[in-house]
């Protein structure tokens, strides 16, 4: 089952919303006179009314649009974070341009520059618009005769869900955080905020009768609790319980994109669509290159076209042009990016077991991981210890969440807490050539940044810093 933020509003519900708005603010007669005069005169000119006045957003019939706008903000923030985060963790490699759809040279070298402001600004906007929607709905609903209560209002459930995912993206990917011009805080503050938003979305979604929102929120909360549990700030048992409640392995909740224009498209796909339009990144010389060749695992696909064999420009760190092996996970402009999935939930359950929750038997964790590998007809995992099972778990998360803006957060939490050997027992560095031979002359993951800094714009304008 796939869900996204374009949740349905029935005709009956929409008509009810319109009726509530009529009760709240009926137009004056003079408006109708002016409108009639305009029609009689056949004036076809158009006047730009300018920005929408804030008070118009208090209307019930505007609330679904408010939530959809928040969804768009989240998608806009996520796709470049997914792209450049993939480059700095070697999910992909640079293949050429550093300009349009390219990878900046600093990111190619493993650094997020402090003057990067656009990505921080986008995710901050995504957080603010979703959280502001919640504040707006909570304050305006009591003023509208016959309006639903906030605690059972479907748009409020949708806004809480978006706020949960936006703060999760922020917490998993940024070093420090701030909200609405407030104080500088460590990244964990975004994750605890995310947990609260997901809890709110579960409660309101359930009361509103929207099981898709409630399920997506439970999956989101499981992922946040797993991250926090690595730091001892949440319970692995609670993370596992949330994950286990998402019983459909094929469940996915996604960030949506559009083919209407480049600005609304999936950025990872647009930067290397496989058609030669742009050839800014490649799977060449990553762990995933040889892994996919060897296993055919459909979670990490890439392609090759002999008509366009190399990237679109020389890459200085590689000494020239490189092979163009475009990713094939996202093959159309409107390809969605997973925010949560049922298969991720099985991995959270497995990791919880490896941390002593449930049975605490690593064999049970391996069984959970092998559900997915069996589903894909892949060779099952064989592990003889908890450490070996954790190595497999790290690889499975790298494969399952490839190009979804999750890898950087995983590396940071495992490294910071020295989990089963630190950074990763599988993908520490770039692999180049048959059999995954490590090329030590290339920059290794051990020296790369683990998170994005807060943008320069925020640092220059936030008086609380």
Please provide residue 104's backbone torsions phi and psi, each rounded to the nearest 5 degrees: -55, 150
* CATH number belonging to domain 2-256+452-461: 1.20.190
| Residues in Cβ contact with 127 at an 8 Å cutoff, skipping those fewer than 6 apart | 163, 166, 167, 170, 179
Q: What is the dihedral of CA 216, 206, 171, 358, to 10 degrees?
A: -80
pLDDT value of residue 15: 39
**What pTM does this model have?**
0.87
CB 105 within 8 A of CB 98: yes
β partners of residue 176:
186
pLDDT value of residue 444: 58
Residue with tokens 């042009």, as numbered in its chain: 321
Here the tokens at position 144 are 């509208």
pLDDT value of residue 448: 86
pLDDT value of residue 434: 43
- Taking every pair of Cα atoms in the chain, the longest distance, rounded to a whole number of angstroms, is 84
pLDDT value of residue 48: 65
3-state helix, strand, coil in the chain (%, to 5): 55, 5, 40
| Residues in Cβ contact with 224 at an 8 Å cutoff, skipping those fewer than 6 apart | 164, 168, 171, 191, 194, 195, 198, 234
Strands 176-177 and 2-3: unpaired
pLDDT value of residue 462: 93
What span, in angstroms and rounded, lies between the C-alpha atoms of 397 and 82?
15
CA 255 vs CA 165, 168, 169, 341: distances in Å: 10, 13, 12, 12
pLDDT value of residue 420: 74
User: How buried is residue 46: exposed, middle or buried, by Cβ count under 10 Å (0-12/13-18/19+)?
Assistant: exposed
What span, in angstroms and rounded, lies between the C-alpha atoms of 127 and 162?
8
Mean pLDDT by 10 residues, the chain (465 residues): 55 37 33 35 60 73 94 96 94 90 92 90 97 97 94 98 98 97 97 98 98 98 98 98 98 96 90 89 89 95 96 89 95 97 98 96 98 98 92 92 96 87 47 46 67 93 91
pLDDT value of residue 415: 86
pLDDT value of residue 277: 86
């Amino acid at each position: 089952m796939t869900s996204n933020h374009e949740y349905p509003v029935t005709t009956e519900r929409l008509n009810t919303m319109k009726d509530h708005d009529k009760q709240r603010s009926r137009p004056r007669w003079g408006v109708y006179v002016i409108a009639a005069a305009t029609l009689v005169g056949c004036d076809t000119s158009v006047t730009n009314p300018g920005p929408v006045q804030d008070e118009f957003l208090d209307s019930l019939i505007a609330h679904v649009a408010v939530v959809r706008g928040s969804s768009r903000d989240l998608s806009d923030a996520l796709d470049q974070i997914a792209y450049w985060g993939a480059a700095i963790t070697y999910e992909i490699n640079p293949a050429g341009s550093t300009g349009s759809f390219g990878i900046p040279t600093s990111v190619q070298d493993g650094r997020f520059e402090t003057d990067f402001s656009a990505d921080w600004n986008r995710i901050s906007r995504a957080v603010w618009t979703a959280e502001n929607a919640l504040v707006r709905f909570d304050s305006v609903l009591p003023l509208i005769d016959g309006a639903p209560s906030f605690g059972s209002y479907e748009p409020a459930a949708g806004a809480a869900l978006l706020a949960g995912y936006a703060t999760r993206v922020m917490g998993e990917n940024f070093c420090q955080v701030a909200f609405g011009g407030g104080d500088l805080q460590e990244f964990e503050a975004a994750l605890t905020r995310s947990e609260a938003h997901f809890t709110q979305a579960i409660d309101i979604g359930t009361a509103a009768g929207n099981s898709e929102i409630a399920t997506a929120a439970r999956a989101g909360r499981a992922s946040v609790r797993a991250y926090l549990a690595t730091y001892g700030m949440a319970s692995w048992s609670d993370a596992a319980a949330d994950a286990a409640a998402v019983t459909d392995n094929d469940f996915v909740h996604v960030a949506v994109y559009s083919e209407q224009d480049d600005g609304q498209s999936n950025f990872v796909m647009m930067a290397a669509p496989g058609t030669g339009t742009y050839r800014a990144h490649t799977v060449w010389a990553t762990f995933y290159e040889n892994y996919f060749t060897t296993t055919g695992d459909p979670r990490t696909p890439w392609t090759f076209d002999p008509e366009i064999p190399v990237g679109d420009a020389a890459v200085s760190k590689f000494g020239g042009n490189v092979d163009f092996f475009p990713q094939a996970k996202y093959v159309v402009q409107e390809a969605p990016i997973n925010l949560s999935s049922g298969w991720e939930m099985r991995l959270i359950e497995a990791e919880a077991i490896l941390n002593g929750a449930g049975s605490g038997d690593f064999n049970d964790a391996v069984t959970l991981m092998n559900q997915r590998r069996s589903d894909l007809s892949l060779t099952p995992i064989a592990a003889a210890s908890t450490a070996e099972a954790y190595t497999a778990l790290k690889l499975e998360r790298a494969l399952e969440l490839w190009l979804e803006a999750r890898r950087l957060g995983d590396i940071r939490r495992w490294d910071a807490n020295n989990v089963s050997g630190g950074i990763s027992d599988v993908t520490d560095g770039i692999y180049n050539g048959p059999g995954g031979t490590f090329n030590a002359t290339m920059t290794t993951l051990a020296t790369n940044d683990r998170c994005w800094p807060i943008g320069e714009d925020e640092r220059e304008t936030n008086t609380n810093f």
